[in-house]
Structure 1
């Protein structure tokens, strides 16, 4: 990522021509800061992978910093928002996690990670929306290709088994 302002001499500063247009587009909400800076999808993906690796190693604060930076640079990135939600969830910041999962789902309604994790949090709160989210996660990932999809499937199965047992108990005299 390059610098936008170039210093020329002690007093005068001149902005690169494209940078001015980029800043104006950013101010109008037409582009993200990541786009102004010229961050590529591959660069964002590489940063996200480091964040995932840090989280997997238990280095949650460092992962949080990386994902917060990615989200700040590109608030439209549903995957980064879902990953930030996961880190918040692991840190016990459950309201922040739900907010990030919800923001991810505004952009990508079938994101299995955001659906599964938000669903689990809603269920813990006793909210029926949790089951809907889990069912949608299973539908979004019917073959269990993601960890979120597999966890959603397992939770739906467990909830169903508990419900069936409850029905059996209630129907016995």
Structure 2
């Protein structure tokens, strides 16, 4: 049985044409699904806060689902990508975490969360890029306003102290 399309008048046609325009813009890659759905910044922020609360409570799978939904709805949201990377990192999904941090940084090169967390993962792998990311995280958050910025500062300081000690050891006959 076919679907019946009813004519609801001018207002319905205008609403439908607005929806059609949003869908066409999405299909052309000019807008996100969140924009098609009409999600506001405040709504996305509220969902992200719930995701952060879930992650803080150790409910990582539920947090993952929320952040994956936010990223799917708006892949341009660097904060949601960094948060998803953090959840992936806590779940031990390190390659996916790196991919999300890198995607966040492609959009927002000074995102302190993505820089600090990616830097830490790179350091664990023995990659020098880790120190660069940590230094950039400190630069992005010079006053330590975020936990990531404070952690990056502490790691940079610890690395510098170890390097100074190593130089001292190497200089001794």
TM-score by length of 1: 0.93
Match of 2:158 in 1: 158
Match of 2:9 in 1: none
Note the C-alpha offset of 1:72. 0.1
Residue 142 of structure 1 aligns to a residue whose secondary structure is coil
Structure with greater helix share of residues: 2
Aligned residues: 164
Note the C-alpha offset of 1:12. 1.8
Match of 1:79 in 2: 79
Residue 47 of structure 1 aligns to a residue whose secondary structure is helix
Match of 2:49 in 1: 49
Match of 1:5 in 2: none
Unmatched segments (≥5 aa) in structure 1: 1-9
Unmatched segments (≥5 aa) in structure 2: 7-12
Matched, 1:122 2:117: no
Match of 2:4 in 1: 12
Q: How does 1:9-158 map to 2 (within 5 A)?
A: 11-13=3-5, 16-158=16-158
Cα 1:13–1:71 shift into 2, 3 Å: farther
Cα 1:153–1:13 shift into 2, 3 Å: farther
Note the C-alpha offset of 1:11. 2.1
Deviation >2 Å, runs of 4+: none
- Give the whole-Å Cα distance in 1 for the aligned partners of 2:53 and 2:59: 9
